[in-house]
Structure 1
Amino acid sequence: MKTFPLSAIVVATAMAAAIHPTTALAWGPQGHRLVARIAETELSPQARAQVAQLLAGEPDPTLHGVASWADALREHDPDLGKRSGPWHYVNLGEHDCAYSPPRDCPDGNCVIAALDQQTALLADRNQPLDVRRQALKFVVHFVGDIHQPMHAGYAHDKGGNDFQLQVDGKGSNLHALWDSGMLNDRHLSDDAYLQRLLALPAATAVSAALPPPAAAWAQASCKIAITPGVYPSAHVLPQTYIATYRPVAETQLRLAGDRLAAVLNAALASP
């Protein structure tokens, strides 16, 4: 079977994922930046002002500038990075994507509960500024994570990390492909990719209520992950795979950006 020639990109991503196989990055830095940049185009004036206040003093005081902060915790704050590791994903029912909190989110340690908790902290004006700043950075990241299908996928293969693939004759894994491989293969700058994503249809009927419907978002992502064909049957990437599934990944990015804006506009509305 022929394979799609993006091995250098995917293998490099897979090597990075292999360092932390149980908490591999979702989307990768560019994907998270793009989610944040979409949201930045849709913020209300009140939310925009609150974001500026909360991120003042950050090296890059923008949503896209802090979009991968939660992944960088592994190096900069190992204790918080370890504690928050399970907050990046959830493993739902393997055949129906049903969500059972006692089974899938023990002690609130999954992306569904973490997003709810951090959104509540962000919206609470009685919380210290540092707490709300950290919550904002988590929310920006977790909304991206929950829309990456492999972060709501199977527990038995760690969301595709253990599902090995042959890509152009070289080894990779399915999680790495969805994280960055399919996106990086376009070789687009953030500005160019943003315009491509903004040209996609905007999300409809985005809820402005808090807490956000995180469980429903995760279940929708899970249903993508378990769709027949997402896992190549021969563990070799078919030539048509990227053309089939990259549009799905890009639609998820657009959806995540629209929903992130809705969450922030609600959480940061004038009291």
Structure 2
Amino acid sequence: MTRTAPLALLFVAALPGAMAWGAMGHETVAYIASNYVSSSTKSFFQDLLGDTSADYLASVAPWADSYRYTSAGKFTAPFHYIDANDNPPSSCGVDLDRDCGAEGCIVHALQNYTTILISQEASNANLQIAAKLAGDIGQPLHCEALEIGGNGIDVQYDGEDTNLHAAWDSNIPESISGGSSQSSAKSWAEELIKEIDSGAYKAEAASWISGLCVSSAEKQTATALKWATDSNAYVCSTVIPDGISTVENKDLSGKYTTTAQPVVDLQIAKQGYRLAKWLDAIVAEIK
């Protein structure tokens, strides 16, 4: 099936981790993924996107978060998260039957849309609908129901009013990268790639993609659920380890951020590496 560039953009935006975090985080994940995809996967997507630059994934990465706020795309909003009805900080965990709502969630959406994209049996219009999926699966509060994933927990950051979810989406990542620009994303990605190749993450990177498989709906679901469970665990260990009262109406730009930064680094690195291998797996199935 011949695809146009806009359809290719939607295809990329559909994939896991491509839409993790805020805009700058999205781009960082994409730059990491670009570094680790196979040469055939790189050629495949550069050809589809009509972009042979190093930015071919990063340039389209923020699209799906914008689309969810349009009239046409509002149906995709539940696909960005799964509402784990657990009991942090006492216990964390994701139960697919319990936590995936009637309108869908990131785990089921990832499975369903990946199947449609691989099959290439849908019409162009249906492929475009399928490709609306966005996967914020690496951000812990996208895998938590408490206070609407932290959106209902008011906090401050550098003296400005915000909420806990937004602090994890943008403020803390930007405190690491030094800014919100695409160049900040590229520099951050370069640092994380060094850690994956020869630094702190070298020994564990293989474990991040353990069990990754897109050959069946069951295996796609199992992979997505594993990643959601992994992210959700940080709600208990790092996001609110001592309960809501310790963060609510507090400024998180000091000690809290210092504690959270290593987890944000790790999760961004994971999702970039995972995205690369997921892209490779999808292209392998299509071919």
Aligned to 1:78: 71
2:157 aligned to which of 167, 176, 186: 167
Distance 2:107 2:118 in 1: 17
The structural deviation recorded for 1:104 is: 1.3
- Counterparts in 2 of 1:231 and 1:195: CA distance versus 1, 3 Å: farther
Aligned to 1:178: 168
Could you tell me which runs of 5 or more consecutive residues in structure 2 were left unpaired when the two chains were aligned: 1-18, 196-200, 215-219
1:204 aligned to which of 181, 193, 206: 206
Aligned to 1:192: 187
Distance 2:273 2:171 in 1: 23
Distance 2:128 2:44 in 1: 10
Distance 1:50 1:133 in 2: 18
Alignment of 1:99-118 (within 5 A): 99-107=94-102, 109-118=104-113
TM-score (norm 2): 0.73
Aligned to 1:223: 233
Alignment of 1:89-104 (within 5 A): 89-95=81-87, 96-104=91-99
Summarize deviations over 1:234-265 as a string: whole Å, max 9, x none.
53135311111111111100000111111110
1:147 aligned to which of 138, 150, 160: 138
CA contact (8 A) 2:41 2:280 kept: yes
Counterpart of 2:39 in structure 1: which amino acid? P
TM-score (norm 1): 0.77
Answering whether residue 60 of structure 2 is matched by residue 47 of structure 1, we say no
Partner of 2:161, secondary structure, is strand
The structural deviation recorded for 1:103 is: 2.7
The count of corresponding residues between Structure 1 and Structure 2 is 238
Q: Runs (4+) of structure 1 moved beyond 2 Å?
A: 52-57, 95-103, 125-138, 166-171, 229-232
Counterpart of 2:156 in structure 1: which amino acid? Q
CA contact (8 A) 2:20 2:29 kept: no
Aligned to 1:248: 263
- Counterparts in 2 of 1:61 and 1:197: CA distance versus 1, 3 Å: closer
Distance 1:133 1:199 in 2: 36
Distance 1:179 1:234 in 2: 16
- Counterparts in 2 of 1:147 and 1:67: CA distance versus 1, 3 Å: same
Partner of 2:162, secondary structure, is strand
- Counterparts in 2 of 1:114 and 1:234: CA distance versus 1, 3 Å: closer
Counterpart of 1:242 in structure 2: which amino acid? T
Distance 2:58 2:189 in 1: 12
Distance 1:260 1:133 in 2: 20
Aligned residues: percent identity? 31
Aligned to 1:266: 281
Distance 1:137 1:62 in 2: 18
The structural deviation recorded for 1:266 is: 0.5
CA contact (8 A) 1:108 1:114 kept: no
Counterpart of 1:31 in structure 2: which amino acid? G
CA contact (8 A) 1:91 1:104 kept: yes
CA contact (8 A) 1:33 1:64 kept: yes
The structural deviation recorded for 1:168 is: 4.2
Once superposed, what is the RMSD of the aligned Cα atoms?
A: 2.7
Distance 2:192 2:37 in 1: 17
Distance 2:95 2:212 in 1: 24
Aligned to 1:87: 79
Distance 1:262 1:136 in 2: 18
The structural deviation recorded for 1:27 is: 1.4
Could you tell me which runs of 5 or more consecutive residues in structure 1 were left unpaired when the two chains were aligned: 1-24
- Counterparts in 2 of 1:55 and 1:231: CA distance versus 1, 3 Å: farther
